[in-house]
Amino acid sequence: MSERNYFINEPEDDNKSVELWSKIRLPFEPKGWLLEMRNSLRSRLRTMHNSENTMLQAQYVSNEEGYFDVENVLIYNVGSGSFTDLCRRGLCFERVFSLPIQPKNIEEIFPHYQRYSLIDPSQGSLYWAKEQILAYWTEVSCPDLKGDIKPHSFWYAIKSGTVEVIDKLKLPSYFGLKLKINAPRGTRINLASVIKPLLDGIISGFHSHDGSYNPIVVGRLTRSLGEEESHIERMLMEQSKAVLGIRNLVHPFGTGIQWNPGDDFCVAAKVVIDDCIVGTSWSLEGELFTVVPCSY
């Protein structure tokens, strides 16, 4: 019998979860058996039974210490279309630093594990506990989460909104985010398709730019946002909200820009959608906080 490269399991829980063990972490453009694995995972995700009272929880477990965005592995590398019906109420994810518990009756050792579960929206991270709140905000206006949204819209929302900074004396090693999206009544979106620009923009709002490529990136941001160049440059460089530190935050990319926040240190995030607001406005509530391991 040939050696397995991956193993997918559907626990006996009425199609509420799917588990994947693999020899290699799922890349963005898989080939060979990795492509087969991704397609099999997509098929299994489509069998999960969602309801109006559940949200999607995604977990990646490995003792690998490299830097990467866990939401890419769990969501974008799989394909956001696979989650359309699973995260209408919300989405939470986490990265766990541990050798995964291995599947029963399987000889191979798999160093990578992904689990997708439908849970009650009141639940959160299984592994990380909130330690110290770094910043919070209760009502920050934001663009609607439809169409081709970009990180700069959410960066600008955080930078120009009312945000209370609690602690920026020490840069966190790992941090978490808790977000609530207040959306117009009846809104239905695939949160998986917008989670990347949403988190990139919000996390970028808690950095200060180091000034690299300023004339270029300031000019391009100015055109995108319709603001004065001096205003955009001040927002990029200001440090009053920079609880995540100073870095080369944004650089030219083609004819546009690319954001470079420290989101690889975001090991736990929860985003819920409240679609009970009357009218057409969208807003964000949230917390940014340090985390410590609690259990696994």
All structural domains of the chain, each given as residue ranges with its CATH number in brackets, are 6-119 (3.30.1330), 128-293 (no CATH)
Residues 245 and 102: their CA atoms lie apart, in Å, by 38
Tokens of 181: 């999206």
Q: What is the pTM of this model?
A: 0.92
Residue 280 to residues 129, 143, 167, 189, Cα–Cα distance (Å):
35, 10, 34, 15
The four Cα atoms 198, 284, 248, 215 give a dihedral, to 10 degrees, of 100
pLDDT tens per residue across span 22-72 = 999 999 999 999 999 999 999 999 988 877 788 999 999 999 888 888 999
Residues 91, 58: contact at Cβ < 8 Å? yes
Q: Report the candidate in 108, 178, 144, 114 with the shortest Cα–Cα distance to residue 281.
A: 144
Residues 197 and 80: their CA atoms lie apart, in Å, by 13
pLDDT grade for 1, boundaries at 50, 70 and 90? very low
Other CB atoms within 10 Å distance of the CB of residue 85: 13
Residues 285, 141: contact at Cβ < 8 Å? no
Name which residue leads in pLDDT, 277 or 131.
Answer: 131
